[in-house]
Structure 1
Amino acid sequence: MEEFVDYYGILELQKDASIEDIEEAIKKTRKRFRRLEGSPDAEQRTNAEKMMQRLNEADELFHDEVRRGKYDASYDANKREVGREPHGESPMSRTSGRDWVADAKAYYEAGQYTNAFHSACEAVRADASDGSAWLWRARASQLLDKYDDVIFSTSELLKLDSDDVYARKLLAFAYYMTDEYEKAESQLLVAQKIDPSDYLILALLADVRYYRGQYDVALQMCRNLYEAHPDSEIVRNSLCRCLRHDAEDKMSSQGSKVCFANLKQVEYVEKVIAELDSMGKVNSETAKWVVQMRGMTEWARKRHFVNQEDIGKAIIGFIVLFFILAAVGAVYVLIYVAIVVVVVMFEVFPEGWRINKRNLGDAAWKTGLQ
């Protein structure tokens, strides 16, 4: 028999929800799980992938009226069947003789994080010395974006066991998500001392230092991590972000946009692009950035930075032609110079600016680098 999945429960909606409400809930829930891509917890990342798959299934199901009709017709019966399990009922439906920690775990694994949170809170009330109760409360809170509660729960858990690396990573991640980078770094450094073998601690530490403005330090950390763990998506994404920032930091700026002011900048960005290309698979944001920057470097080399030998040949040719015309007569020289000036002033420069604007954007079109 095919496994029943309570998509309404995952989206925290009633069966009579409109398609608009469903679409909004799917969008909101997807956003919640995408934010966990950088979580140091492998189990949470795996669970996030599973839930994203469930959301895709829900999206397809609810947009197909025939399939939704069949699903709704059997929904109540299927829910009653799974209602014999803890995740099939409300955590407030009964309060005595209940294993709240087991319920919190069951709700969490079923993707019902609000119920998991309430069950974990009940478990904490029943026994504040139970570390697993605080742990499930922290994990559910993280997936509900309740980062203040994550900080509170993990702090209580660390009072019970100060060497709990997992709790420290959760606490550091909560500080990271609330922009308290100094506190996040402090927790990560402690966690690293407890478990030096966990490279994901260093990956999150690199992200924290990046957002603290320590860009060169973060870049070097990410490069070292990528060399040791090239298959890690978290490490790869962090390195991509650092490389993009490093390249743009070396460029000039026009307002909010970046542009090239010299050949050295072009060469540096080309070097960064080559490094990103060597990584193979990169995220969509980085792939888009590479396409844009590759176009800018190619255009800059084509329009802005002519080979010095070509410039020398052009100057020599201009001088030779000038003397030839001078030998013929002064009138021809004046006509020649006038033509050159007119073409340059009214055709070359304006067209260069127009083309540059079209290819590099409004902020870069007046750089004079034609």
Structure 2
Amino acid sequence: MNNHYETIGVDTRAGEDVIRDAIRTTRKRYRQVAGSPNKEQARNAEVMMDRLAAAEETLLDADKRRAYDAELAAQRPAPEEKPPVARPTTDWEDTARSYLANGQPRNAAQAAKQATHADPESISAWTLRAYAALELKDYSDADFAASEAQRRNPDDAQIAGLLGDVYDAEHRYQDAERAFARAAAIEPSNPYWLGRVAWALSDQGRLQEALSLAGQITAQFPGEPYARKMNASMLLQDAEAALSQDRGGVYFTNKRQIAHVEQRLAQVAELGSQDEGVIAHFNEQRQNLENAKRRRFHRLSVRRILATIVLVIVTLVVLGSNSAGSIVFMVLMLGLWIWWTVERCWPRQWKINRRALGRAAGTGLQ
């Protein structure tokens, strides 16, 4: 039984907003490495994306979460993971790879350490150790192992990119940008490294630079699926960044946001990315956009009902008079009633959001 809370790195008592934010952050990380040229890293990203989907489905549904928590509490404690007993013929590198492939980074890290002790000059052993430590969030050992690998082979793009992954996980985004740029310089034919540079720029808040670079990568590698996926992800991220934010959620609160998101969605559709994650994100944004553009019934309060009755009575009284002034007054009252009904009782969803969010409505594109 997978522990969904461990997968996304939150406490079992975490609220829905915290869980939603953790899922978004963790998914972003594995979405970036899904196209990695390192087979172990790419395969692990696929496994983790599946686990994230399961965590999202379970933890964001109140009924499913209650049932899952009960099952998790009743589960017997798992026996402590232990690496196999060493034998003279043990290939620790293969053992570490096997553990990584099966989603057991703790055992993989132990086996990889044995591999670096057995053969300190093995570059692959040091890289395996770094990947396993990275999955365990042991950034100190990951940095050390990746640096040892690079010291032995300074001109390897994957090792330079591995250091970039470590810096990225530590939120050292400028260092990550430089490491991925070095990998791109070593291996210019691989769009993955330039894509990681774009992500590092985005993480620094330099989203427009990241979008520009993403466009250049797509133009340089027009038939490359990863380039289209990365560009589409950047456009969707920019669309989401334009919205107003409050307690981990994003909301439409004005017409400029609607126009901006419409433009970005059109650009994503033109790219035609077939990545499942991109498609799901695109459909979610499109649905939110359609909701914001539609009129939604706003629950009437007693005060509003009474005000409507008063307006109707006044209008009926005026109808009993034949003077020109009364007719003008009646027309004005009727217009006021129509405006009040449309604006207050059936407002567009973005208007409801703007009223409900208060100061938070002033965030995002205005």
Q: TM-score, normalising length from structure 2?
A: 0.64
Structure 1 range deviating more: 196-205 or 217-226 = 217-226
Residue 3 (structure 2) aligns with: 24
For 2:338 and 2:326, the matched residues in 1 are separated by 17
Spell out the pairing of 1:100-249 with structure 2 (5 A cutoff).
100-229=92-221, 234-247=226-239
| CA distance 1:29–1:296, shift in 2 (3 Å) | closer
2:279 counterpart of 1:283: yes
> Given the alignment of the two structures, is residue 36 of structure 1 paired with residue 30 of structure 2, yes or no?
yes
1:283 partner SS: helix
Offset at 1:347?
3.7
Root-mean-square deviation (CA, aligned residues, Å) is: 4.0
**Counterpart of 2:333?**
342
Written as runs of structure 1 = structure 2, the 5 A alignment for 1:1-12 is none
Question: CA–CA distance in 2 between the matches of 1:239 and 1:145?
Answer: 28
Deviation at residue 162 of structure 1 after TM alignment: 1.2
Q: Give the partner amino acid of 1:28.
A: T
Deviation at 1:141, TM superposition (A): 2.3
Contact 2:236–2:268 (CA under 8 A) maintained in structure 1? no
> 1:166: Cα distance to partner?
0.6
- 3-state SS in 1 of match to 2:252: strand
| CA–CA separation in structure 1 for the residues paired with 2:341 and 2:90 | 79
Structure 1 position 356 matched with structure 2 position 347: yes
Cα distance in 2 for residues equivalent to 1:150 and 1:95: 26
Gaps of 5+ in 1: 1-21, 60-88, 301-329
Superposed CA offset, 1:313-342 (max 9, x none): xxxxxxxxxxxxxxxxx9744223312332
Q: Is the 8 A contact 1:188 1:205 kept in 2?
A: yes
Query: 1:247 Cα deviation (Å)?
Result: 4.0
Q: Please give the alpha-carbon distance, in whole angstroms, between the structure 2 residues aligned to 1:36 and 1:358.
A: 33
Matched position secondary structure for 1:168? helix
Aligned residues between the structures = 284
Larger Rg: 1
Contact 1:270/1:297 (<8 A) preserved = no
| Overall identity of the aligned pairs, in % | 22
Task: Give 2:163's aligned amino acid.
Answer: L
Tell me how far 1:232 sits from its aligned partner. 5.3
- Conserved in 2, the CA contact under 8 Å of 1:258 and 1:364? no
Letter in 2 for 1:187: A
Tell me the alpha carbon deviations over residues 22-54 of structure 1, each in whole angstroms, 9 at most, x when there is no partner: 153698399889843321523135523764699
Q: Is the 8 A contact 2:254 2:350 kept in 1?
A: no
Alpha-carbon contact 2:254-2:354 (below 8 Å) kept: no
Instruction: Give distance in 1, aligned partners of 2:258 and 2:212.
Output: 22
CA contact (8 A) 1:270 1:294 kept: no
**Contact 2:294-2:349 within 8 A present in 1 as well:** no
More deviation in 212-221 or 233-242? Answer: 233-242
Distance of 2:133 and 2:222 partners within structure 1? 31
Distance 1:181 1:152 in 2: 18
Q: Distance in 1 between matches of 2:222 and 2:214?
A: 10
CA 1:287–1:144: 2 relative to 1, 3 Å: same
Is contact 1:141–1:150 with CA below 8 Å preserved after alignment? yes
- Cα deviation, 1:129-167, whole Å, max 9, x if unaligned, reads 322220111122233343333222101111111112111
Higher mean C-alpha deviation, range 45-54 or range 163-172: 45-54
Tell me, in whole angstroms, the C-alpha distance in 1 between the residues paired with 2:242 and 2:104: 47
The 3 A distance-change label for structure 1 pair 184 and 345 is same
Question: Equivalent residues in 2 for 1:262-341 (5 A)?
Answer: 266-280=258-272, 281=274, 282-297=278-293, 332-341=323-332
Residues 115 and 364 from structure 1, CA distance in 2 versus in 1: closer, same or farther, beyond 3 angstroms? same
Distance 1:27 1:125, change over 3 A: closer
Aligned to 1:93: 85
Q: CA 1:364–1:206 in structure 2 vs 1: closer, same or farther (change >3 Å)?
A: farther
Question: How does the TM-score come out when normalised to structure 1?
Answer: 0.63
What do residues 238-281 of structure 1 show as CA deviations (whole Å, max 9, x unaligned)?
Answer: 33343234446667x5976332246xx65444332322232344
CA distance in 1, matches of 2:192, 2:261: 28
CA distance in 2, matches of 1:348, 1:160: 74
- How many Å separate the matches in 2 of 1:155 and 1:218? 27
CA 1:214–1:352 in 2, change beyond 3 Å: closer, same or farther?
same
Q: Structure 2 stretches of 5 or more lacking a match?
A: 10-22, 56-80, 297-320, 362-366
The answer for the alignment partner of 1:81 in structure 2 is: none
Report the Cα distance in structure 1 between the residues aligned to 2:342 and 2:103, rounded to whole angstroms: 59
Query: Which string of whole-angstrom CA distances, capped at 9 and with x for unpartnered residues, describes residues 332-359 of structure 1?
Result: 4422331233223344134313322556
